[in-house]
Amino acid sequence: MKENYDVIVIGSGLSGLITALTLQKKGKKVLVLEKGKLPGGVATSFMRGRFTFDVGFFGLLKYGSIENKGELYELWQRLNIDFKINMKKSLPIVFFQGNEKQEYSFPSKMDDFVLKMEEYVPNSKDSIISFFGLCEDIKEALGELENKEITEQEIQLKYPNFVQLASQKVLPVLEKLNMPKKAMELLTSVWVYFGTSIKDLSFVSFALWWDSYVHYGLSYPQQTYYDITATLQKELETLGGKVLLLEPVTEIVVVENQVTQVKTNKDTYDVNEVIASVSPAYVYEKLIPSIPEEVRQLENERLLGLSPFCIYLGLNISKEELKLPETFFLLPNTKHDETFKSLEKINNEVLLGRTYNNDENTTVLELMGFFKPDCFAKAVSKENYFAMKNMLAEHYLSLLEQEKNIEIRKYIEEMDIATPVTFARYTNSPGGTIFGYLQKGYDNILSRIMNENAENIIKGLHFCGSFSSFASDTSNTMLNGEYEANKLGKE
Ligand SMILES: Cc1cc2nc3c(=O)[nH]c(=O)nc-3n(C[C@H](O)[C@H](O)[C@H](O)COP(=O)(O)OP(=O)(O)OC[C@H]3O[C@@H](n4cnc5c(N)ncnc54)[C@H](O)[C@@H]3O)c2cc1C
């Protein structure tokens, strides 16, 4: 006989699994419906020949260490999965091309970071210290706002800096701190990766990212990504929750503005609470036959983040011999504006890379290029897809070989490519985008947190994951899973 559930979670990506696990721990009976054949969504692993590739993130923020626990560390402890995952720190290196051919490293401890910046940009020290001070204020104020344990008046009294900065964009704040131009360029250069021009980005979002970076650095697991998601699934099932794979949701039935059922090709479930870890655009367009006009308006106002082009290479050379860092950015220059504009072109020169040992003598090299979401769709058709895919892979490989003066092609033993089309098909994300909605202008972390109840228009329909409130990157996606589950648990 078909069982009844208190909550159905759509999608078993990291956010869906963490939402489900948190709710199950709170005594709710939870079912996760997943369209794919493995749990994990984009955070997954695949094998080719003697290589194992991990997809879905290059590094995690907010982890830290046992001595200095970040929010992600604490989340994994609450979920009882921390002891099953070993994390390693990574120091990203930024390479600039062209005239500014230079290499920069960004230490992940605040004091070391300040010293390093002073070395790169003399007289930047005071402004960088003040910048990190503001970042800490913002982090604290936002934490209290999220917990909803403080009124707006109390926030105004306790965090005057936050109130002043809440509506400001990045550059005017850095200028007010008298930060030297070069230091501003270095701090803002890697931000192209998040898809928002620094001119449109709220200072709050920028500050939260840097605050996390200089407190906890960037980490990645030593197990495969599949191990992590399988651990989450197992923990959920041990507590009585259920995950059904290869069971895509085909409809969410809404009667008089209240969720009443969830349908798949195999079954219909009576349920009043659904948490979708997929994009609202997809849910409203494909899963709910008729939606209120205000939902449509809200959706139309949001903009999509970047879409990736990924190359997975199994190289027959050791990591030491390859001589590439564990995580690196290759950027055309230090000018954020120019680099950001270049993302409108399909063959731009922005590349993110990661290397890890496959075994002693072989290495995995993962490369990721980015475009604005409509850029790939405009340039690529059914007819030229194969040719464009090869052209882009050639382009990125040549770029890296030339810039770093190394040979990669001659060591390739295995190779796979994932385009925005791959990600769109795999996760149903519009345009294959991977960081949810852009934080742009007034649609930023702060406004999303302040307005989240007003945005709950259909009763019983909630969202978690990269498309909801403060999420986008992997760590926030996971933390957001718990946040959304706690909200529902309270209701
Ligand atoms: C190549 C790549 C590199 C990245 N790099 C980084 C990085 O370096 N740092 C970082 O922090 N983040 C990174 N990210 C982003 C990060 O991986 C995501 O933010 C996060 O994993 C998203 O998790 P999610 O659970 O929200 O969504 P997803 O993982 O997309 O999960 C959604 C799930 O829903 C399922 N689904 C869809 N439709 C249905 C349906 N109708 N019925 C049932 N199930 C359905 C999908 O199959 C999928 O399993 C990267 C992402 C990619 C793809």
Q: Which of 304, 296, 285, 259 is nearest to 462 (CA)?
A: 259
Q: What's the confidence (pLDDT) of residue 213?
A: 93
Distance between CA atoms of 271 and 360, rounded to whole angstroms? 51
User: Residues near 316 by Cβ (< 8 Å), separated by ≥ 6?
Assistant: 361, 362, 411, 412, 413
Closest ligand 1 atom, residue 480 Cα:
26
Least confident of 225-229, 276-280, 289-293, 323-327: 289-293
Residue type, 128: I
CA dist., res. 198 & res. 400, Å (int): 26
Q: Token pair for residue 370?
A: 């980015």
Domains of the chain: 7-86+221-291+458-490 (3.50.50.60), 111-216 (no CATH), 307-427 (no CATH)
The ligand 1 atom at the shortest distance from the C-alpha of residue 55 is: 1
Instruction: Express as a percent the part of the chain with pLDDT over 90.
Output: 65
70: tokens are 């970040």
Residue in the block written with tokens 């999220």 = 146
Distance CA(110)–CA(394), nearest Å, equals: 39
Compare 98 and 34 and report the one with higher pLDDT.
34
How far does the centroid of ligand 1 lie from the alpha carbon of residue 288, in Å? 21
Which of 81, 46, 84, 65 has the alpha carbon at shortest distance from 481? 81
The answer to whether 432 and 420 are in contact (CB under 8 A) is yes
Question: Which residues, judged by CB distance below 6 Å to any ligand atom, belong to the binding site of ligand 1?
Answer: 10-16, 33-36, 41-43, 55-60, 248-249, 277-278, 308, 310, 368, 423, 427-428, 434-435, 465-466, 473-475, 477
Three-state secondary-structure class, residue 105 = strand
Q: Where residue 46 falls among pLDDT bands split at 50, 70, 90?
A: very high
Confidence of residue 442 (pLDDT cuts 50, 70, 90): low
Residue 281 CA, ligand 1 centroid: distance in Å: 15
In residues, how long is the chain? 491
Pairing of strands 327-331, 412-418: unpaired
Pocket probe for ligand 1: among 9, 277, 288, 462, the residue whose CB has the most ligand atoms within 8 Å is 277
- Judged by average pLDDT, the poorest of 106-110, 276-280, 372-376 is 372-376
- pLDDT tens-place string over residues 418-437: 999 999 999 999 888 888 88
Which residues contact residue 376 at a Cβ distance below 8 angstroms, ignoring those fewer than 6 apart?
Answer: 307, 309, 346, 419, 420, 421, 431, 432
Report how far ligand 1's centroid is from the alpha carbon of 427 (Å): 7
Q: What percentage of the chain's residues is helix, strand, coil (to nearest 5)?
A: 45, 25, 35
pLDDT at 72: 95
Per-residue model confidence as pLDDT tens digits over 363-422:
999 999 999 888 888 999 999 999 999 999 999 999 999 988 899 999 999 999 999 999
- The Cα–Cα gap between 151 and 393 comes to 52
Ordered DSSP codes for 237-300 = HHTT-EEESS--EEEEEEETTEEEEEEESS-EEE-S-EEE-S-HHHIIIII-SS--HHHHHHHH
Atom of ligand 1 nearest to the CA of 471: 19
Identify whether the C-beta of residue 9 lies closer than 8 Å to the C-beta of residue 31.
yes
Q: Inform me whether the pLDDT recorded for 156 exceeds 70.
A: yes
**Atom of ligand 1 at shortest distance to CA of 287?**
41
Name which of 410, 423, 88, 158 is nearest 279 in CA terms: 423
3-state SS, residue 108: coil
Which protein residue's CA is at the shortest distance from atom 49 of ligand 1?
41
Q: What is the pTM of this model?
A: 0.93
Closest CA to 436 of 394, 468, 393: 468
